[in-house]
Structures are given as C-alpha cells and as structure tokens.
C-alpha cells in the first residue's frame, strides 16, 4: 500500500503546482492586475486643441534627418502602442536613428465632439499640427507616417496639401475599401445602417468598437492568448510585455460620430477615395495630387 501511495505523490505535486499557477494567473488578469507603465519615452506637449495633444519626443542622439516626422495614429485606439515600453517602441527606434519625432494624441472625444467630421480632423487638426511642427522644427516640410485610419486621413491630407509633405508612409491604411474582409462585410450597406447607429449613439462607443475587433479573430483573442499567458505566467519578461499590450488593447476610446459616419459611408460603403469621388469641405480629394514619395 505504501509503495502504491508514493506513486501518486509526484502527480499530486503537479496538481498543486498547476493550481498555484492558475491562481497566480487569475490574480494577475482579474483580481489584482498590476499597473503597467507605458509610453515612457521622454517628451513634451507643444500644442493642444480641444482633446488633441501634440507630443514632441526629445532626441536620443544627434539628429541625422532635418525633416521632422509626424506620427498620425488611428482614432479608435490610444497612440502609445507606438511607444509601448523600452525595447518595444517604434518611437524609440526612430529617435535612435536620429529622426525628429512628433506624435498626435487625439484624446477621447466626448458627447460635445459628436459633430467633428473629416474636414475638422484633416483641414483643422492635422493642418494645424503640421504648421506647429514646421515652426517648432524650423523645417519647410514634414514627413508623415499614418497608421490605420490615421493613414487614410494622412493620404487625404497630402492630396489636399501636397506642398506640406515631403514623404508619406502608410501602415495598414485603407485606401481601396472594395476588398474582401470581415470589416468590409460588416460595413456594407445591407448589413449596417450607419446613419441610424450614429443618430442613436452620437459617438461610436468604445465597447462596440472593441467587440468588433475581438470577434474578428475570436479563438486567438479569447482563447489562445490566455493559454499562452498561463503557460508563461512565471516568465517575468513575457509577463511585462503581455500586460502592457493588454493595457493598450483594453484602453479603448470612442470615435466622434460624424467622422465615423463619413468613414463608413464614404469609404467602406461607397469607396469614394479610390474612385476619385470624395470631397472634403466641397473640395475634391484626388490621390493623383500626391506628388511626394509614398511608402
């Protein structure tokens, strides 16, 4: 009996280790999630308007590029993903290359911002930022790196103000919206009445937007990710990176109602930008007017 009992001891030890590991994972993710510091590259705020803040990052080496770079992020998430943490920061890499870096933080729109449209974001916000960066840096032009919705708006801005932009870089930016994809299917007119949606809510709610992104890859976002987390919960480096990313993924913001309506209607549903039909404040937006190099 004693011999047989001892055979179960290693198995019981493994059960206890698994239980402790599960409780640790539960504590970290749900009960007492630690606060993670993000967006730590040293910077100053050199311009504000309404919720918008313009960040200028302090150089980390001798500047090798005279033309400043403006990072234009999407409207649906916080921009600190570009400066998540030391060693995982686009901003940090650019600064170490000697590039002068500026970033637009759109802030979180309130109910009073529901009427902000593409014209306001492009011809007012982005244009004011460009003028402020030119003045601050002493440069005649700027480089723009636009991400996602920010990339689409950056392309529009460059088409409307080609004299301001020396180089345009687009990352995951929608230009031609008549391509197969989950978002395009959800946004089609038969599936989504954006007018009724925005008329009812005012702004596009943050939890609605987050849910949409989660169910695009449900197994990866709701199962696989947490299995990987459980398996690596004792790895401090993994844990720090995971928690920083989780903070960003769950730090969602609404989108101003009118600009959301225009994005869905004019771009996703009618594809006006690539079909050369889009007008902003009555002025046609012609992609052919972009004269600078585009990456």
User: Tens place of pLDDT for every residue, the chain, 295 residues?
Assistant: 455 555 556 655 655 555 555 555 555 554 456 677 899 999 999 999 999 999 999 999 888 888 999 999 999 999 999 999 999 999 999 999 999 999 999 999 999 999 999 999 999 999 999 999 999 999 999 999 999 999 999 999 999 999 999 999 999 999 998 876 666 666 677 778 999 999 999 999 999 888 776 666 666 666 677 677 667 767 778 778 888 888 888 889 999 999 999 999 999 999 999 999 999 999 999 999 999 999 9
Task: Report the predicted TM-score, pTM, of the whole model to 2 decimal places.
Answer: 0.85
C-alpha closest to that of 186 among 222, 221, 157, 211: 211
Per DSSP, the residues of 182-198 read HHHHHHSTTT--HHHHH
Instruction: Kindly state whether residue 71 falls inside one of the protein's structural domains.
Output: yes
d(CA 226, CA 145): 32
**SS3 label, residue 240:** helix
Q: Are strands 283-284 and 279-280 parallel, antiparallel or unpaired?
A: antiparallel
> Any idea which residues carry the catalytic annotation?
148
What's residue 12's pLDDT?
54
**Spatial separation of the C-alpha atoms in residues 243 and 220, rounded to whole Å:** 16
Q: State how many domains the chain has.
A: 1
The Cα 247–Cα 88 span in angstroms is 14
In a domain, 5, yes or no: no
Is residue 24 in some structural domain? no
Give every CB contact of residue 156 below 8 A, 6+ residues apart in sequence. 118, 122, 273, 278, 280, 285
Residue 11 lies in a domain: no
With respect to residue 7, please indicate whether it lies within any of the assigned structural domains: no
CATH number of the domain bearing residue 227: 3.40.50.1820
Q: Residue 151: name the closest of 224, 73, 227, 57 by CA.
A: 73
What is residue 55's three-state secondary structure? strand
In-domain check, residue 9:
no
Q: Looking at the domain assignment, is residue 20 inside a domain?
A: no
pLDDT of residue 6: 55
Residue 67: which domain range?
43-289
Token pair of 112, please? 């009073």
> Do the beta carbons of residue 155 and residue 272 sit within 8 Å?
no
In a domain, 263, yes or no: yes
């Amino acid at each position: 009996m004693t011999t047989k009992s001892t055979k179960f001891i290693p198995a019981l030890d493994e059960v206890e280790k698994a239980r402790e590991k599960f409780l640790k994972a539960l504590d970290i993710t749900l009960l007492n999630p630690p606060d993670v510091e993000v967006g730590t590259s040293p910077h100053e705020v050199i311009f504000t308007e309404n919720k918008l803040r313009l960040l200028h990052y302090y150089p980390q080496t001798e500047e090798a590029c005279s033309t400043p770079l403006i990072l234009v992020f999407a409207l649906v998430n916080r921009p600190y993903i570009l400066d998540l943490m030391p060693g995982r920061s686009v901003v940090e890499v650019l600064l170490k290359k000697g590039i002068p870096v500026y970033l637009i933080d759109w802030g979180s729109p309130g109910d009073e911002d529901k009427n902000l449209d593409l014209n306001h974001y492009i011809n007012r916000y982005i244009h004011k930022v460009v003028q402020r960066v030119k003045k601050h840096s002493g440069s005649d032009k700027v480089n723009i790196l636009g991400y996602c919705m920010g990339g689409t708006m950056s392309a529009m801005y460059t088409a409307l103000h080609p004299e301001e932009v020396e180089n345009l870089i687009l990352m995951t930016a929608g230009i031609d919206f008549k391509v197969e994809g989950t978002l395009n299917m959800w946004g089609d007119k038969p599936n989504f009445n954006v007018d009724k949606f925005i008329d009812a809510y005012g702004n596009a709610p943050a939890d609605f937007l987050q849910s949409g992104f989660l169910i695009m890859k449900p197994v990866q976002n709701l199962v696989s990710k947490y299995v990987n987390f459980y398996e690596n919960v004792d790895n401090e480096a993994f844990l720090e990176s995971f928690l920083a990313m989780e903070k960003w993924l769950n730090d969602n913001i609404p989108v101003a109602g009118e600009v959301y309506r225009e994005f869905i209607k004019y771009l996703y549903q009618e594809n006006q930008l690539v079909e050369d039909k889009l007008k902003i404040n009555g002025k046609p937006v012609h992609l052919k007017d972009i004269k600078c190099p585009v990456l």
